[in-house]
């Protein structure tokens, strides 16, 4: 008996004919390192060379073979020299057009020549044509094509010809057919439940579909054989996130139990009642924190849905149970604002709130650190400076992270480590105002439990959105005057493409000056990223107090600014911003009871993309709808950004195409782990390689 062969994922590419050191390097560029990789390198599309079509039945866009006779051939000069050949097959005629040809090649197209041509059919000036078809001479005795499979076209790189890839896949498939192993890693019970083909059958099919295959399904990537492979990949990712989650849950955490007396004291003093959605999310969180393992919960709530109150209430539960709570925001400005809010709510209850920022120096910093360490500070608000090495907590029970996706998965995990003490991990509550489409949430955040605040506080009136060219600036001035005359306030956001903060600040200063001149009766203030924190704070406070009528700002106000009396948002050059940012900015108004408006001012001409974005903004105010559109327009990588979020990179699956498989893949992952003999390791190794392929922060 021959020695057993190594499985194909351990079989080097050099085992294939035609792979030497040079080719090895090139193949590495497209991610091919072993023979199994070749099998998982799937065609982008397919050509049908299995049959000969009749010219009379051709449609533009088709890639087909035809058998034809040359009726006429002429070399002509337009802007360049070309050969124009008219051919027919009795059912119709067609033009062949060649730009590069030698004398000898031109001679092949003499009148009466019989040809088989393969190419894409396109509309031309005189009916349908093929440009540079693959052509060969035939005669009456030539049999029809003997290809019995559709021809795969592979993604490739410079210097790797389609024929090479076809030869490599031919050889790899041959190895597979003759005992080379690509292990079937899905248990039969799961394959049956989810109607999944056998892996090796699926691979054969996808690489060499039979000629009767449904080309349109294959083209869309939705054929059962393709689905089989995408499903396995999604399942592997779901498994890895489940395991990550299980691992987290094995860590001990402080059990936060109490009567909720402090929270009740706060709620009793509020001028309003929590919305049903806020109450539900608070309850979910409080019940998570009672457990002896760390909560990992993501709260999604559209702008203005009242996430801050949720944060304050759950922090009070931790404080009541004798633990410290930390609230962290991604920017100084937002953190400062949380600090103010928390002070307003907690000072009357006699609960000490501390502030820690990276900019704090000297005595102030030492005092803050001391208070945190000694446990005098019960709630600590700040930026990521909270997790620098010199910060020691007395007994940290809860970490609240606002605007999570600016921090990223890795930072999130790092924070968890940082907060650990004596092997005990604090609970984590992550809040985001950027609604995450479900498909993304299920892949990028599947290790978290998710709560949604899907209700806005009562009495909000919807924000009317208008889109106008900047030539109509006068009308905008009139609107600002009208709002301020009614005792309301307005924002003017300068969006600048300049990278430099200095230039942005300069431009915002210019705009503020011009607006102040144009609107002499209105007090105009300015905030931008280059101002000293104290100055910024003073301006924000003045705006909040209503002393300032119009606040000119760079996009620093995007997140978190809460001034319910502001009823008008003007965004200059709105065409430069993405949907998520526009939605965040618009969310700054419509927080009070007054009818509010958002003016999206653009500088023509608008690109198609910008037109589409502004249209979406005009039509919808639902953060989830907008996020979904954003995903459709920009794709998952762009929406969250690999770097920022640890978006998963898929090899075969495609989040927009395969979204409908996600639920099943996740259920299958659970079912897999429930099987007594389940070993997820080989699946993870096949699809995720050595590490989980999250983008690095
Ligand atoms: P976001 O979710 O965007 O962080 P905020 O927490 O800033 O929203 O809340 C927006 C505004 O709504 C604040 O002025 C807040 O005091 C107010 N608010 C929060 N909850 C309620 C409620 N249940 N009823 C009325 N107003 C509320
Ligand atoms: Mg907020």
Residue 74 CA neighbour count, 13 Å, CB half: 5
Task: State the ligand closest to the CA atom of 454.
Answer: 1
303 CB-near residues (< 8 Å, 6+ apart): 433, 583, 584, 586, 587, 588, 623
The torsion angles phi and psi of 538, rounded to 5 degrees, stand at -65, -45
Instruction: State whether 66 and 199 are in the same domain.
Output: no
Determine if ligand 1 sits within 6 Å of the CB of residue 306: yes
Structure tokens at 434: 């950027």
CB 289 within 8 A of CB 421: no
Whose CA is closest to 305, among 334, 276, 344? 276
The rounded distance, in Å, linking the Cα atoms of 33 and 10 is 9
Residue 512 forms part of a structural domain: yes
Distance 344 CA to ligand 2 centre (A): 15
Give the mutation target among 340, 457, 567 for probing the ligand 1 site: most ligand atoms within 8 A of CB. Answer: 457
Task: State the ligand closest to the CA atom of 270.
Answer: 1
Determine if ligand 1 sits within 6 Å of the CB of residue 566: no
Determine if ligand 1 sits within 6 Å of the CB of residue 435: no
The full 3-state SS of 11-35, as one line of letters, equals CEHHHCCCCCHHHHHHHHHCCCCEH
From 121, 146, 171, give the residue that closes a domain. Answer: 146
**Beta pairing class for 114-124 and 63-77:** antiparallel
Atom 20 (ligand 1) nearest CA: 306
The pLDDT of residue 686 is 86
Instruction: State whether 474 and 620 are in the same domain.
Output: yes
Instruction: State whether 188 and 214 are in the same domain.
Output: yes
Range(s) of the domain holding residue 470: 463-637
Distance 310 CA to ligand 1 centre (A): 9
Atom of ligand 1 nearest to the CA of 310: 6
- The total number of residues shown for the chain amounts to 697
CATH of the domain at 141: 2.40.50.140
CB 493 within 8 A of CB 555: yes
Determine if ligand 1 sits within 6 Å of the CB of residue 686: no
Atom 12 (ligand 1) nearest CA: 306
The torsion angles phi and psi of 92, rounded to 5 degrees, stand at 170, 180
Residue 245 forms part of a structural domain: no
Task: State the ligand closest to the CA atom of 303.
Answer: 1
Residues of the chain with pLDDT under 70: 1-4, 404-415, 434-435, 437-446, 497-501, 556-560, 635-649, 689-697
The pLDDT of residue 78 is 82
Structure tokens at 672: 């897999």
**Beta pairing class for 353-356 and 379-382:** parallel
CATH of the domain at 391: 3.40.50.300
The pLDDT of residue 554 is 83
Residue 254 forms part of a structural domain: no
Structure tokens at 519: 């609107």
Distance 120 CA to ligand 1 centre (A): 59
* Cis preceding linkage at 605, omega within 30: yes
The pLDDT of residue 414 is 67
Determine if ligand 1 sits within 6 Å of the CB of residue 274: yes
Distance 122 CA to ligand 1 centre (A): 58
Determine if ligand 1 sits within 6 Å of the CB of residue 313: no
Instruction: Give me the helix-helix angle, 533-545 and 332-346, nearest 10°.
Output: 50
3 state SS of 326: strand
Determine if ligand 1 sits within 6 Å of the CB of residue 434: no
Distance 571 CA to ligand 1 centre (A): 23
CB 650 within 8 A of CB 665: no
The pLDDT of residue 638 is 56
Whose CA is closest to 304, among 441, 455, 490, 488? 455
The rounded distance, in Å, linking the Cα atoms of 94 and 86 is 6
Determine if ligand 1 sits within 6 Å of the CB of residue 455: no
Residue 286 forms part of a structural domain: yes
Determine if ligand 1 sits within 6 Å of the CB of residue 276: no
Determine if ligand 1 sits within 6 Å of the CB of residue 309: yes
Instruction: State whether 565 and 437 are in the same domain.
Output: no
Structure tokens at 94: 């067609």
Q: How many domains does the chain have?
A: 4
Tokens 């394959």 found at: 191
From 637, 654, 676, give the residue that closes a domain. Answer: 637
Residue 164 forms part of a structural domain: yes
The rounded distance, in Å, linking the Cα atoms of 515 and 492 is 9
Distance 106 CA to ligand 1 centre (A): 76
Residue 550 forms part of a structural domain: yes
Atom 16 (ligand 1) nearest CA: 306
Cα angle for residues 507, 512, 513 (degrees, 5° grid): 100
Distance 649 CA to ligand 2 centre (A): 30
Task: Number of helices (H) and strands (E) in the chain: give both, helices first.
Answer: 25, 22
From 100, 116, 146, give the residue that closes a domain. Answer: 146
Residue 243 forms part of a structural domain: no
Instruction: State whether 479 and 623 are in the same domain.
Output: yes
Task: State the ligand closest to the CA atom of 329.
Answer: 2
Instruction: State whether 445 and 333 are in the same domain.
Output: yes
Structure tokens at 325: 């709570």
Atom 23 (ligand 1) nearest CA: 274
3 state SS of 398: strand
Instruction: State whether 291 and 339 are in the same domain.
Output: yes
List, in sequence order, the alpha helices (H) in 522-661: 533-545, 579-586, 608-619, 623-634, 636-640, 642-645
Instruction: State whether 282 and 333 are in the same domain.
Output: yes
pTM higher than 0.75 for the full model? no
Instruction: State whether 603 and 580 are in the same domain.
Output: yes
Instruction: State whether 498 and 609 are in the same domain.
Output: yes
CB 233 within 8 A of CB 657: no
Structure tokens at 433: 């105002």
Determine if ligand 1 sits within 6 Å of the CB of residue 300: no
Determine if ligand 1 sits within 6 Å of the CB of residue 221: no
**Beta pairing class for 63-77 and 81-88:** antiparallel
Could you report the per-residue pLDDT of 151-164, keeping only the tens digit for each? 899 999 888 999 89
The rounded distance, in Å, linking the Cα atoms of 57 and 67 is 13
Determine if ligand 1 sits within 6 Å of the CB of residue 260: no
CA 325 to each of CA 386, 414, 537: distance values in angstroms, whole numbers, following the listed order: 12, 17, 24
The rounded distance, in Å, linking the Cα atoms of 456 and 277 is 8
Instruction: State whether 169 and 317 are in the same domain.
Output: no
Instruction: State whether 500 and 357 are in the same domain.
Output: no
Atom 5 (ligand 1) nearest CA: 306
Whose CA is closest to 253, among 380, 420, 446, 431? 420
Determine if ligand 1 sits within 6 Å of the CB of residue 307: yes
The rounded distance, in Å, linking the Cα atoms of 218 and 356 is 57
Give the mutation target among 268, 279, 309, 559 for probing the ligand 1 site: most ligand atoms within 8 A of CB. Answer: 309
Residue 660 forms part of a structural domain: no
Give the mutation target among 263, 269, 299, 308 for probing the ligand 1 site: most ligand atoms within 8 A of CB. Answer: 308
């Amino acid at each position: 008996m021959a020695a057993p062969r190594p499985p194909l994922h351990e079989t080097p590419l050099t085992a294939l004919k035609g792979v030497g050191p040079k080719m090895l390097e090139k193949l590495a560029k497209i991610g091919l390192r072993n023979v199994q990789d070749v099998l998982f390198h799937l065609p982008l599309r397919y050509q049908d060379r299995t049959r000969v079509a009749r010219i009379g039945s051709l449609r533009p866009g088709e890639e087909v073979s035809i058998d034809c006779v040359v009726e006429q051939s002429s070399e002509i000069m337009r802007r360049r020299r070309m050969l124009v050949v008219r051919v027919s097959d009795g059912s119709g005629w067609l033009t062949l057009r060649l730009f590069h040809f030698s004398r000898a090649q031109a001679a092949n197209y003499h009148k009466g020549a019989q040809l088989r041509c393969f190419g894409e059919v396109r509309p031309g000036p005189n009916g349908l044509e093929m440009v540079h078809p693959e052509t060969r001479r035939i005669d009456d005795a030539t049999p029809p094509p003997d290809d019995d499979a559709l021809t795969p076209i592979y993604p490739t790189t410079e210097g790797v010809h389609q024929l090479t890839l076809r030869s490599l896949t031919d050889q790899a498939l041959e190895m597979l057919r003759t005992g080379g192993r690509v292990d079937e890693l899905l248990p039969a019970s799961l394959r049956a439940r989810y109607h999944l083909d056998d892996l090796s059958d699926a691979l054969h099919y996808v690489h060499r579909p039979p000629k009767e295959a449904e080309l349109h399904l294959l083209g869309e990537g939705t054929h059962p054989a393709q689905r089989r492979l995408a499903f396995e990949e999604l399942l592997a990712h779901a498994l890895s996130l489940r395991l990550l989650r299980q691992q987290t849950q094995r860590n001990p955490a402080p059990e936060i139990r109490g009567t909720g007396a402090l929270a009740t004291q706060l709620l009793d003093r509020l001028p309003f009642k929590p919305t049903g959605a806020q109450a539900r999310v608070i309850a979910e969180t409080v019940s998570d924190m009672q457990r002896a393992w760390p909560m990992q919960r993501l709260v999604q709530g559209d702008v203005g849905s009242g996430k801050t109150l949720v944060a304050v209430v759950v922090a009070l539960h931790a404080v009541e149970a004798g633990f410290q709570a930390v609230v962290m925001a991604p920017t100084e400005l937002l953190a400062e604002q949380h600090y103010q809010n928390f002070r307003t709510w907690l000072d009357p209850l006699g609960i000490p709130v501390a502030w820690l920022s990276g900019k704090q120096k000297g005595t102030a910093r030492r005092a803050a650190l001391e208070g945190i360490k000694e446990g005098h500070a019960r709630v600590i608000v700040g930026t990521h400076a909270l997790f620098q090495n010199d910060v020691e907590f007395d007994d940290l029970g809860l970490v609240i992270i606002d605007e999570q996706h600016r921090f990223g998965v890795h930072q999130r995990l790092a924070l968890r480590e940082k907060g650990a003490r004596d092997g005990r991990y604090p609970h984590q509550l992550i809040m985001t105002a950027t609604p995450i489409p479900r498909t993304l949430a299920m892949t990028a955040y599947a290790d978290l439990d998710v709560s949604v605040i899907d209700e806005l506080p009562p009495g909000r009136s919807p924000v009317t959105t208008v889109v106008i060219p900047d030539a109509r600036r006068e009308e905008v001035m009139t609107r600002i005057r009208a709002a301020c005359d009614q005792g309301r306030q307005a924002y003017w956001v300068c969006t600048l493409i300049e990278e430099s903060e200095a230039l942005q600040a300069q431009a915002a200063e210019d705009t503020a000056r011009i607006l102040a001149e144009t609107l002499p009766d209105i007090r105009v203030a300015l905030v931008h990223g280059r101002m000293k924190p104290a100055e910024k704070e003073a301006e924000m406070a003045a705006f909040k107090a209503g002393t300032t009528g119009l606040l000119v700002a760079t996009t620093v106000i995007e997140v978190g600014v809460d001034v319910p009396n502001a009823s008008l948002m003007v965004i200059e050059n709105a065409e430069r911003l993405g949907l998520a940012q526009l939605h965040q900015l618009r969310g700054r108004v419509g927080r009070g009871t007054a009818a509010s408006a958002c003016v999206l001012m653009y500088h023509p001409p608008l690109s198609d993309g910008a037109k589409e974005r502004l249209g979406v903004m005009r039509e919808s105010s639902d953060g989830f709808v907008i996020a979904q559109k954003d995903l459709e327009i920009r794709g998952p990588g762009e929406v969250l950004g690999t770097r920022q979020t640890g978006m998963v990179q898929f090899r075969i699956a495609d989040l927009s195409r395969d979204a409908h498989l996600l639920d099943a893949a996740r259920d299958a992952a659970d079912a897999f782990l429930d099987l007594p003999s389940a070993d997820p390791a080989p699946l993870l190794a096949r699809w995720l390689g050595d590490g989980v392929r999250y983008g690095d922060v």
